[in-house]
């Protein structure tokens, strides 16, 4: 017995509500499974961080504890990346850092190299460095600090923000200081956007300890504390030779002896700034060499143009103090 017939079509009226015949749904592909193993050496080569670490070793004299710590951080981040690839649950690593040490010990240079390493490992999008001080973040009147700080953070997103002499952000002796507003904005961004920004706070070790004690929010967000040692006398001499060589100069034997003496004396005097002071000394020696040649006979050869003599070093007031 059939159902009622549709007058217009002559078809069985029940047929209109029956579902059309369809093929059974195709089986879904199995979820992609993580690989069983991963070659860390191959991943290391793929990220090319080895070249950056080699440059760090080649270009920076001394700083062995710092270089070792940077290699440890790079290895840790490589393992975190491998864990994710193999399906091992991993929390996003906290990468904010503190660099402590005296002036001229390479903190800004290492921060720039660290930005490159983080970029190669995929932890920052762009790998650039934005270096600032208090004046770039803190305003001079009400309503000035927030836009200044946010503009700096906007420029730094996707890379590394390096804040030199970070303790100057906090001035408890001045009730009308606006540094606390900048600190609160920084802390919020360091927490909420730590997957898109790495902040490095830098300065003298003792002052940074005081700063962290007064601002526990910073201490809780900074995972890596790296101390930069002063350079030894032989390291400072080698730095001087490299600086001169990069500018197309060399030292005579007597000038090398004078330079060794200069380094030993300068380290005991006020405002010594490690490699920065040595660079300044080489710049002044070049000026004295130029005046010595200019005041001479006027005839010079290539060897004279590139050679710094002992008199160019010993004319420094360092030897009269």
> Of 187, 211, 228, which closes a domain?
228
> Of 228, 254, 288, which closes a domain?
228
Report the percentage of the chain scoring pLDDT > 70: 90
Give a yes or no: residue 297 inside a domain.
Answer: yes
Nearest to 319 by CA among 274, 276, 257, 252: 257
Give a yes or no: residue 197 inside a domain.
Answer: yes
> Of 210, 228, 246, which closes a domain?
228
Position 14 scores a pLDDT of 42
Give a yes or no: residue 142 inside a domain.
Answer: yes
Position 29 scores a pLDDT of 55
Nearest to 238 by CA among 54, 62, 108: 62
Is 190:169 a contact under the CB 8 Å cutoff?
Answer: no
User: Could you list the residue range(s) of the whole structural domain that residue 98 is in?
Assistant: 40-228
Q: How many structural domains comprise the chain? A: 2
Give a yes or no: residue 17 inside a domain.
Answer: no
Asked if 51 and 113 sit in the same domain, the reply is yes
Give a yes or no: residue 59 inside a domain.
Answer: yes
Give a yes or no: residue 6 inside a domain.
Answer: no
CATH code of residue 260: 1.10.8.60
The token duo for 237 is 């001499």
Please report where in the chains the tokens 């981040």 appear, as a residue: 77
Mind giving me the DSSP string for 20-82?
Answer: PP-PPPPPPPPPPPPPS---HHHHHHHHTHHHHHHHHHHHS-S-HHHHHHHHHHHHHHHHHHH
Position 26 scores a pLDDT of 53
Asked if 205 and 268 sit in the same domain, the reply is no
Asked if 287 and 313 sit in the same domain, the reply is yes
How far is residue 180's CA from residue 191's CA, in Å, rounded to a whole number? 17
Asked if 182 and 306 sit in the same domain, the reply is no
Asked if 241 and 308 sit in the same domain, the reply is yes
Position 43 scores a pLDDT of 85
Read off the DSSP letter of residue 19. Answer: P
CATH code of residue 222: 3.40.50.300
Give a yes or no: residue 102 inside a domain.
Answer: yes
How far is residue 137's CA from residue 151's CA, in Å, rounded to a whole number? 9
Give the chain's residues under pLDDT 70.
1-32, 175
Asked if 113 and 60 sit in the same domain, the reply is yes
Position 192 scores a pLDDT of 92
Asked if 158 and 144 sit in the same domain, the reply is yes
**Residues contacting residue 110 through CB under 8 Å, at least 6 positions apart:** 56, 60, 63, 66, 70, 99, 226, 228
Give a yes or no: residue 9 inside a domain.
Answer: no
Is 217:187 a contact under the CB 8 Å cutoff?
Answer: yes
Asked if 200 and 259 sit in the same domain, the reply is no
The token duo for 305 is 């143009």
Asked if 211 and 273 sit in the same domain, the reply is no
Residue 135 buriedness (CB in 10 A; 0-12 / 13-18 / 19+) = exposed
Position 66 scores a pLDDT of 96
Asked if 161 and 283 sit in the same domain, the reply is no
Position 143 scores a pLDDT of 86
């Amino acid at each position: 017995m059939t159902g009622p017939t549709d007058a217009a079509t002559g078809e069985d009226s029940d047929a209109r509500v029956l579902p059309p015949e369809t093929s059974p749904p195709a089986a879904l592909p199995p979820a992609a499974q993580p690989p069983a193993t991963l070659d860390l050496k191959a991943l290391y080569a793929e990220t090319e961080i080895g070249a950056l670490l080699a440059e760090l070793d080649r270009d920076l004299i001394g700083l062995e504890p710092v270089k070792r710590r940077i290699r440890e951080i790079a290895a840790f981040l490589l393992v975190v990346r491998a864990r994710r690839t193999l399906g091992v649950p991993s929390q996003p690593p906290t990468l904010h850092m503190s660099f402590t040490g005296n002036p001229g010990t390479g903190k800004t240079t290492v921060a720039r190299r660290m930005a490159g390493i983080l970029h190669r490992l995929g932890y920052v999008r762009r790998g650039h460095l934005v270096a600032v001080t208090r004046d770039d973040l803190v305003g001079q009147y009400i309503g000035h600090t927030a836009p200044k700080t946010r503009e700096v953070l906007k420029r730094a997103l996707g890379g590394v923000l390096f804040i030199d002499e970070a303790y100057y952000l906090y001035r408890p002796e001045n009730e009308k200081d606006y540094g606390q507003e900048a600190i609160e904005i920084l802390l919020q961004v360091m927490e909420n956007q730590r997957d898109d920004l790495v902040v490095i706070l830098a300065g003298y070790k003792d002052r940074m300890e005081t700063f962290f004690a007064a601002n526990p929010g910073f201490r809780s967000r900074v995972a890596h504390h790296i101390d930069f040692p002063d350079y030894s006398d032989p390291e400072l001499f080698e730095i001087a030779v490299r600086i001169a060589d990069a500018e197309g100069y060399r030292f005579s034997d007597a000038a090398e002896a004078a330079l060794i003496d200069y380094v030993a004396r300068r380290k005991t005097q006020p405002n010594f700034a490690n490699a920065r002071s040595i660079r300044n000394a080489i710049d002044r020696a070049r000026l004295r060499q130029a005046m010595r040649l200019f005041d001479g006979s006027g005839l010079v050869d290539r060897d004279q143009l590139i050679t710094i003599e002992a008199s160019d070093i010993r004319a420094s007031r360092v030897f009269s103090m």
